[in-house]
A and B are shown apart, each in its own frame.
Chain A
Amino acid sequence: MATESSEGEEEGKAIGGNQHLVVDDDLREMAKKAAWSVSSCKTGNGVQFLRDDNLDTYWQSDGAQPHLVNIQFQKKVKLQLVVLYVDFKLDESYTPSKISIRAGDGFHNLKEIKTVELVKPIGWVYVSLSGADPREAFLNTFMLQIAVLSNHLNGRDTHVRQIKVYGPRPNPIPHQPFQFTSREFITYSCVR
């Protein structure tokens, strides 16, 4: 069972990057069925490279800052974690340094929920979306927007190689108040 990497402080300053992507078992990737769009992109480095599971390909923006990645879901989903792959060694001035995460129902009412500052990151950067309050363990939202506000060395455009969004797994057994943890319960919980 993997543990998540350590988070930054409350404001999310200066998070390093991890070589490996390791997430909890009870999280699952949520954004497969979402609609992804970007504010601008260079030809040949479009939005699809954010989702192609290939760390060699990247999205390159081609406009004014802030550069935006919009993720729109079909229904309100619970989100817990956003992970980005960026590489300072390869991208240098294209590496994002300040990232803002906003959420809302649509473009009209996005509200910033988290800001993260990166310092020469190499690898996967984890940004948790939960608040301190247990009530805010998850972010319930229709839309997520990841804004790159500034880059390292004051670069204009940015490279992001991969983005993944995680939320909790639904209870495999419907109409249960709690999920099962012990092996006995899980073994008998379904017929396969």
Chain B
Amino acid sequence: METLLIDCVQSSLRHFMLRNAIFLCERLCADFPSELNSQLLAICYLHNNQAYCAYHILKALFYIQKFMAIYNSHLVWPQNMKGHKWLNPATCLQFHAFRWIFLLKLKQHYALLSLMQRYTDRRKSAVDHFKRALSMDPLLWAAYEELCVLGAAEEANGVFSEAAALCIWQQLLNPGSNTPNLQITNEDHVVVLNKTLGSEEMSPRQLKSMQGNIFRDTPGNHVAVFSGGPSSQPSSGGSSNISLYGTPSPMPAQLYGVAPPPLCRNVQPNLNILGGESSPKSKINTTLQGSRRKLLDEGKLRKVSGRLFSDSEPRRSTRLAGEAANTNSNSLQVGTNGSGHSSTRYFGGLSSSSKLISAAIRSGTFCKGQPSASESFDEGRRSESFDDSRLDNTATTSSSASLFADDGSLERERTGQQMGGVLAHGSRVSSGILELLDLLRTLGEGYRLSCMYRCQDALDIYMKLSHKQYNTGWVLSQVGKAYFEMVDYLEADQAFTLARQASPYSFEGMDIYSTVLFHLKEEMKLSYLAQELISTDRLAPQSWCAMGNCYSLQKDHETALKNFQRAVQLNSKFAYAHTLCGHEHVALEDFENGIKSYQSALRINPRHYNSWYGLGMIYLRQEKFEFAEHHFRRAFQINPCSSVIMCYLGTALHALKKSEEALNMMDKAIIADKKNPLPMYQKANILVSLEKFDEALKVLEALKEYAPQESSVYALMGKIYKQWNIYEKAMLHFGLALDLKPSATDVATIKLAIEKLHVPDEMVDNL
């Protein structure tokens, strides 16, 4: 699984799917914490212009010196790019998307296209494109994430399912020359294959052609192989395989006679258009291949990989045996060691040196290119591969069994085939795929549920994650967010604190954390958070949101507004910043601008229930109760588990004189969240206005237990007693209310009430 993840990360990087890359890399580092993976994560952050994150990670690895020395250019790069249009993710995406979609039709670019469309409000087409992108590459997490945010995601089980596993598997083995299922990694693989073989004069052409043939399947046929399913029909499966492998015989001709860099052109005929482009691509490819060097060709390849991976090269090379051509032997060798994740290094991951050595020996023998030798070799390996299959997950047995069966038949049918090897260790890959899919499934389901605001379910699902994955910044922030939506601020605070500890450089969800602290009125923590965030990155909108929250807590609404506007300037697609601007406008009683801000937030993300709520509040203040009710209801529909929204919906209903519904809503709110005293208070209010004083009093008595320090409770009770002309109790309660230091207006009101205690109510106008 690790290799698979690494692949995906690299391909995402190459396609500028930076968020995807970062997310997958974080998963990778959680499960397989290692230096190289951390380096990869640092590289991802660098690409995303988050140099400080990279700095943090590499600092942990004591690589700072090296980092500064080697990647100085990269540190400089972000600054240089500051004014550049590429820095704007939207333009960057647009440019790449348009260019690449027309030229390559890669699945990643469907995702890019849909991202653009999402930004331009074409929701339906965006959803469609995301789904297509996902169906083509189930590992494209960013696509799934966007689908969730758009509210159109299907069950994660459906997306990250067995079918998806097949899809990935298929892509891995199939560079899909004529189909959109293009994976650069496959291309790399084949390129390496050809390259390493090409450099090795002795390699028989047959070997090469066979190798090439393996990867020349058409997807349809390949699927047929799998649908062949259990090994009940080995022969037919085998024959279909043969046919597959038989067809591309003309292809091998293309393989040779070309210099290594444009090898990718051979593999994908339709890339010929990109003659010019292939060189940068191949450069990228070579950096990756550098990691999968053949033992005998280290020196040459070492030079090629000039960029980011240069540092890791030496280490990798010493550890990786002739990956490509000899991965078969290598991985089989590796496979016999049996452990789940780390043993298989099909696509340029890491393996231990012991494996290397034995593999090297094997590859050495292998490269001698004696068909017979290899055949016997294969025989030997075949038995191993069969052992292998038994060690595999049960889930993969069906596919692997069929593969092995095919393997067996192939062995019989062809000489010098390493295909068996490929297919055999393919089972390793498929187990990796399935694990990865499992992980993504859990995460995806959790994310989807939290986007649908079914927070308790989301939390349950996140609990199912392994300990290592759970303790990553992303997951913990999601957990915190779920608690926040459920209005459970204390738990959210805890979760976010852990998230900060796990990844102190991460910005995901920090704006929500600042809001949590705002709600809890934790001034110290909030200001500390804001300071930290700003010092880490002044250009992240989340830091300015946190700062703004800090000022807002101190009631300095104008400065808060300025900060939120800065956040908006930094990223105008950041819906929450708009919402917070709206809140500040409302606090400054500037309702027009408030409405504008909320509406811009909604334009960006129509499922942002905070904005709906904000609009409802404005209309409530302006006494436009129908509008208020409509907006609160929308908010409620989006987030049905927030008791605060229910409470306000009830208030709006009451203002519309629909008191029955209002009371129902209040009851719902009370049930939804026991810790929220407000629905009870509102219920009492409604009852008082309906003149049902007894019930109101009962509710208030209960409320006294929950919130004994709340003066408005006593004030209301005093009012009720006054109604009943029980003057002593009324006096008592008003006195209690006054003791609790209410605001000046209330002091005035209460004092007035006390004075007028003995005056009948009709004479009192404004109590």
Contacts and interface: CB of A to CB of B under 8 A. Distances in A.
A185 B681 contact: yes
Given A177-B712, A180-B710, A192-B610, A187 B745 contact: no
Interface stretch (B94-102, B141-149, B266-274, B639-647): B639-647
Given A188-B677, A192-B515, A177 B752 contact: no
Contacts of B737: 178
Interface stretch (A7-15, A108-116, A118-126, A168-176): A168-176
B589 A178 contact: no
Contact of A185 (B555, B710, B746, B755): B710
Contacts of B751: 134, 137
Contacts of A52: none
A53 interface: no
Interface string B667-697: 0000000011110010001000000000000
A179 B746 contact: yes
B613 interface: yes
Interface string A4-47: 00000000000000000000111110000000000000000000
B645 A191 contact: yes
A189 interface: yes
B710 A192 contact: no
Do most interface residues of chain A lie in helix, strand or loop, or is the interface mixed? Answer: loop
Nearest to A172: B587
A180 B746 CA distance: 10
A131 to B, nearest CB: 11
Contact of B712 (A25, A170, A176, A183): A176
B620 interface: yes
Contacts of A189: 644, 678
A190 B707 CA distance: 17
Given A174-B617, A178-B715, A185-B710, A168 B745 contact: yes
B580 A192 contact: yes
Contact of B709 (A135, A181, A187): A181
Given A177-B715, A178-B716, A190-B644, A184 B744 contact: no
B314 to A, nearest CB: 52
Contact of A191 (B642, B651, B655): B642
A138 B748 contact: yes
Interface size on B, as a range, is 35 or more
Do most interface residues of chain B lie in helix, strand or loop, or is the interface mixed? Answer: helix
Interface string B611-643: 001000100110000000000000100000011
Contacts of A191: 609-610, 613, 635, 642, 644-645
B583 A185 contact: no
Interface in B529-571: 549, 555
Contact of A171 (B609, B651, B745): B745
A191 B631 CA distance: 14
Contact of A188 (B555, B583, B644, B716): B644
A192 B743 contact: no
Interface of B: 487, 489, 515, 518-521, 549, 555, 580, 583, 587, 589, 609-610, 613, 617, 620-621, 635, 642-645, 647, 651, 655, 675-678, 681, 685, 706-707, 709-712, 715-716, 719, 737, 740-749, 751-752, 755
Given A134-B748, A179-B712, A188-B647, 16 more contacts: A26-B745, A28-B555, A134-B752, A134-B755, A137-B747, A177-B719, A178-B711, A178-B712, A179-B743, A182-B711, A185-B710, A187-B520, A188-B487, A188-B644, A188-B676, A191-B610
**Those 9 A-B pairs whose CB atoms lie nearest each other, nearest first:** A134-B751, A137-B748, A178-B712, A182-B710, A182-B709, A174-B621, A26-B743, A188-B676, A179-B743
